[in-house]
Chains A and B, each alone.
Chain A
Amino acid sequence: MAKNKQKTMAKSNAIAGYLFILPFIIGFILFLVVPLVQSFYMSFCAVTSTNGQGLAYDWIGLKNYHDVFFKDPDYVPRLLDELKNMALFVPGTLIFSFFMAILLNQEFKGRALVRAVYFLPVILSSGIMLGLETNNSLLASMSDSIKQDDSMTTITKTLENILLTGEQASKFFEYVINLVNQVYNIAISSGIQIIIFLSGLQTISPSMYEAAQIEGCTAWESFWKITLPMISSLILVNVIYSIVDFCTKSDSQLMTLISDTLYAKFDYGLTTAMSWVYFAIIMVILGILSFIISRWVYYYD
């Protein structure tokens, strides 16, 4: 009797749970699975519009994918560019936000204000605001014309030239200089990561540091032995968040190319193939990274 009762309880719980997440299931199937499957099918087809009556699909196999890689002049270079930028940008964001979180975790006057300023870009620089300065044909031609008379020599420029002429270290310096040039982009896109790291840092109990200090641990050692392991699970979250955020930015070169191809040529097959290639690559990168990092993550409890 008792067993029977328990069973029905579990059952009614399951039913209630499903009812609660029902909106999500419907939305997920209707607005995510259906479009995804459709687009996957579409990427193997030549899609032609039959004068407003609908679309005709002709199966052409892998031709769209072949076109993406071997015919389209812009796609592969931009993809490589994008990945290179990501390799630069994501570690930069992580280091920057971690560093800022440590700074903001200390006591000083006006901390709340600084925290508010850092979070401001999350609100302001999303969506079109970000792309407005680069995405616009008028302003793009404008910035080209400005670049042409950019022959001024500044101290930083000279320094950059000197550093880049060295043979051995030039690759490293190039990386650093690129990073420094990106510092604005990094700063405005790391608002959420800073907050996440900060909340993680605040959960580490001070007694742990105290104990370490009494045992004769220097600040440097306690950073590596306490702070980093305790926060490692949040590093994983932030890596994933930064990559996704980077890839879905509306001013990303590749996204612009994809949506331009869509709205200019109405070549649905090619466009979906492009997005699928990009999507697959992001997924592979995310999978590999989260596999590597999650092996190294330390869980306290």
Chain B
Amino acid sequence: MTRKERFENFKERNRKSGGYLLRKKIGSVIYRLCRAILIFGLCFLILQPLLHKISLSFMTKEDLFDRTVISVPRHFSTSAIRDSWMLLYKFKPFWTSLSIGLVVALLQVLSATLVGYGFARFKFPLKNFWFACVILMIVVPPQTLVTPMYLNFSHFDIFGIFKALTGKELKLLGSVWAYIAVCAGCAGYKSGLYIYMMRQHFRNEPKELEEAAWVDGCGKLRTFWSILLPGARPMMVSCFLFAFVWWWTDGVYSRLFFAKGYGWYTVSNCLSNVANRLNTEYKKMIGATDQGGTFVPIAYANQITAASTLICLVPLIVIYLVAQKSFVESISQSGIKG
């Protein structure tokens, strides 16, 4: 059928229906147009800061101060990126964050899997109480815990055992072991959420699997290890990704356990410090001596912040592009059955 024939056909059908078909068609076109504009606008709203950061990072100094240059740089340059790379201590924070993050995320996921399985499949006294504790852990803002944790870890001692044994106090702040212990104990950043997600996953698995295994004489640990764990792998992967990504950008626990004073350079610490570092370097460069006041041109400081944020975001964007599905689907799976 050619285009013209189809049009004739439509006209004919429209005439028969008394104009109803045309009205309906127009209505649906308008609706779809509005929806497309709305969705496009909102997507743009979300992406705009990212796009802005990208364009800002590649501008030259002339473009920064030129009011006619708004989003697309007129002169392309990577000097801001290079400067921020220097100010971010080059590879150092990335290695630190990557190595700690992998260990930490793995531990969080492993303990969350165990605990989630325990909550999903076993009946034991006080189960509801303990599950309420998991919810409490999700709800308590980590910032509330920071002060006592800070003190707790700077003078960490279980009933004075360490002091009695070694004669001195155990300083746990600034050591990676403290955070590893916290994560293994399911108390790391957003650990409660992972427990919840894993529990939700195991609850949706058919019970017959385990019953069959039990009938065949399989022990509890074995059942968990060789029957349920393989099926839980996708969920574990997404929990792992969440744990890693949130660790990468987390400021609260990073600031507590890996503050700069202890010689740790994590991505989040370096990034939150980049503007101040720029300022000191700049002062050094122009030879200013007094303490107060800022000297860095505003637009330049803004550009450096944007560029360094972008550098720190690149790994996350790559991870997201590769594993987008497992992020979104894990949340939608655990959302069902609230």
Contact = CB atoms under 8 A, between A and B. Distances in A.
A129 B147 contact: no
Interface string A19-53: 11101111110111011101100100000000000
Contacts of A30: 185, 187
A199 B187 contact: no
Given A24-B186, A35-B145, A17 B118 contact: yes
B329 to A, nearest CB: 9
- How many chain A residues sit at the interface, stated as a range, is 35 or more
Contact of A117 (B43, B140, B255, B301): B43
B309 to A, nearest CB: 6
A119 B327 contact: yes
Given A20-B114, A250-B251, A31 B149 contact: yes
Given A24-B134, A129-B309, A14 B122 contact: yes
Contacts of B191: 27
- How many chain B residues sit at the interface, stated as a range, is 35 or more
A15 B220 CA distance: 11
B338 A236 contact: yes
B335 A200 contact: yes
B27 to A, nearest CB: 12
B237 interface: no
Nearest to A256: B143
B68 interface: no
A138 interface: yes
Contacts of B296: 138
Specify the main secondary structure of chain A where it touches its partner: helix
A21 B119 contact: yes
A106 B152 CA distance: 52
A123 B122 contact: no
Contact of A142 (B130, B268, B302): B302
A117 B317 CA distance: 11
Contacts, number: 257
Contact of B143 (A54, A146, A275): A275
A136 B125 contact: no
Contacts of A276: 144
A137 B338 CA distance: 41
Interface stretch (A61-69, A181-189, A210-218): A181-189
Interface of A: 10, 13-21, 23-28, 30-32, 34-36, 38-39, 42, 54-55, 100, 103, 106, 108, 114-124, 126-129, 131-133, 135-139, 141-142, 145-146, 183-184, 187-188, 192, 195-196, 198-200, 202-203, 233-234, 236-237, 240, 244, 247-248, 250, 255, 258-259, 262, 268, 271-272, 275-276, 278-279, 282-283, 286
Given A126-B249, A196-B332, 4 more contacts: A32-B136, A38-B151, A114-B43, A236-B338
20 contacts: A10-B123, A16-B118, A16-B122, A17-B127, A20-B114, A27-B111, A27-B182, A32-B137, A116-B320, A119-B327, A129-B312, A132-B305, A138-B276, A138-B278, A139-B305, A183-B45, A195-B335, A244-B138, A244-B141, A268-B147
